[in-house]
Structure 1
Amino acid sequence: MKLILPYQSLLRSSLLAVLSAAALLTAGQTQAGTPSGKAPEPIVEPEAPFITGSLSLMVDTHFVSYGQDVWAAGQSWQDPLFHPSIELNFNLGGGFSFILGSWWDVNDNAVSDIGNRIQEVDVWAGISYAAGDWKFTLLYQDWMYSESTEQIVDFKISYTHFLNPYFLIHSRPDGGEFLESVGFDDGIVAQVGIAPGCSMGPVSLSFPVAVSYDTKNFHGGQAGLGFASAGVTASIPLTKAITASIGATYYYTNDLVIPGNPDEGFVMGSAGITVVF
């Protein structure tokens, strides 16, 4: 006769209870319909915010408008310019966005017609459509300076790729009284460019290259190649939302097409911070 001690009986009862619970749990899991018995967690895509934007505070050595050296700085870096800008993007869904923005030229190069040292205020509104790696953007702009308003319509096609190529039609349907007085006509600038980039640790590098073609008298000269440019920009994040950048761009401009520039070739430097939100 085998003697079973009390503690052995208690251990056997506990073991039987655990095995019974495990059997019930396994049966319930089998009925769940997956081999492991655990349903996969649903994948929830984060909802895109309705409003995003960026604030840029840049200091530039030149004000270059499609190859035109506006303040005739030439090869000098002695008179830096402050160029703040802001842009808001409203997510309309289906790949569409509504865009609002403004850019200012602030310096003491002339007596301002706007106030203080604000020489020019540009505002724009438009719409963009993104489909895969393609993006199409249409903007209407008012450039306000010298008691005059220059009206601009831009259409840009860009493609997300290592080279980041783009094609831009920059049109001037109405140049305003000031441009008419200096012999500039309404017309078009066609521009193509690329902006390949790479990273070196936390530093992001971009190498923008562009060329443009002007219609006759757009910048007061002949029709033809207006400018070619190549540059480098280095950016480093300071926080999740703030990035500092510094860069330089060389411009070759055709004095037959853009006759007002003091030098055919010059380098523009820039530095500043950008805040995204």
Structure 2
Amino acid sequence: MIDPFRYEDGITPTVKTFFSQYLLQDLLDQITLKKALAVLKWLESTGPMPKACLICGAYLTGARLANTLARTASVTVLDQFPLVKNLLDPGVAYTTSIDDLPTGGWDLIMDTTGLGGIDPLMLRRFETPPIFVAEDPCSDGSDAVILQANQCYKLIGSMASERKGVLCTGGLSTKTSGTMTLMVEIMRRSMEDATRLEGVLYSTGSWEHFERLLFKEQNYEEFRKKLQRSALIVSSLMPVNPDEVIQTHVSALSSTITDFSEFRP
């Protein structure tokens, strides 16, 4: 029996339109959860958990990590775009200026700013924290130009922290490990797979230039609204479960931290 809450008649009753229960927001949540769990697992396995954390970058990955760590620690986020403050839980401190931050007292500093992000020289303003983590913006499908723009390992090399790690995310052969990049790839692959199913006329997703809504139009409310749409929509003569198609690609994604504690500047 077809779940009546997941489909509607097309132009005629012969064709049905199937909607995933996975929303775009759910995809983002699944991706950032994998990243956050990888960080927590590494922190728990390498030593004491931090109590004072500074996270550079609040967009999606940084916000999820900040909100997760804030359950057990004091967390401050540095990001130049004021609207991303909306992604943070009330208990997370936020600033747009590095000059507002104390130079010492941090147990953990983590960079999630990605390609073209924070300058390694800026980090010299801070006393060396016991723990430093950088997210590698590249992934298992990065091309030579993107790899060359990666400054993650320069950041790692600039810090003399006792515990150092690089957050790596892959499994989908994407050009970068950015959360939005990964979401779009999951949607693209899901559309292709759904279209190959017998009886499927076509499939589509809720496409939008989401980052432009947030950073160019500066419309946070519209950004959040657009993310509440179904991630996959399938027109078919036969019953289709779009969520099963999506889950295949969500499951292929993995995040781990590579330990670089032996890497000294």
- Shared fold, TM over 0.5: no
- From the two aligned structures, give the one with the greater strand fraction: 1
Larger Rg: 1
The one of the two structures with greater contact order (alpha-carbon pairs below 8 A, sep at least 6) is 2
TM-score, reference length from structure 2: 0.30
TM-score, reference length from structure 1: 0.29
